[in-house]
Amino acid sequence: MAEVKCTIHGLQQRTFVCQHIAEGLVDRKRVGFFWTRDDPENPRPDAWCSACQSRVEATGGEWVDAALKHLEPKILCGTCYDFAKTFHMGEDPRS
């Protein structure tokens, strides 16, 4: 798995999330958290928010048209991904 150097957590696994998950961390706004089950070996698979989930459902599960246009993937380190997952799923990531 590829790695990325996070300014907070150092060298970590590189992960991809939709722009809304990343922005939600900054804005402290929960947006939901969905992920692919296509890669069971990856502990941190690509993830997206509730709005992106609705868009991809509207395209029959394909990342095309509006679903793909609004995704705008962002990179998070593995630890930031874990924090985002916990936060966006409604839990307190600090506990």
pLDDT in tens, 30-66: 999 999 888 889 999 999 999 999 999 999 999 998 8
Domain residue limits at 77: 3-88
The answer to the question of residue 95 being in a domain is: no
The answer to the question of residue 78 being in a domain is: yes
Over residues 70-79, the mean pLDDT reads 96
Domain count across the chain: 1
Neighbours of 70 (CB within 10 A): 16
Q: Report the sign of the C-alpha dihedral through residues 24, 16, 7, 86, in that order.
A: positive
The answer to the question of residue 93 being in a domain is: no
The answer to the question of residue 94 being in a domain is: no
The model's pTM: 0.91
Using pLDDT thresholds of 50, 70 and 90, give the confidence band for residue 21: very high
Q: Report the sign of the C-alpha dihedral through residues 34, 37, 38, 43, in that order.
A: positive
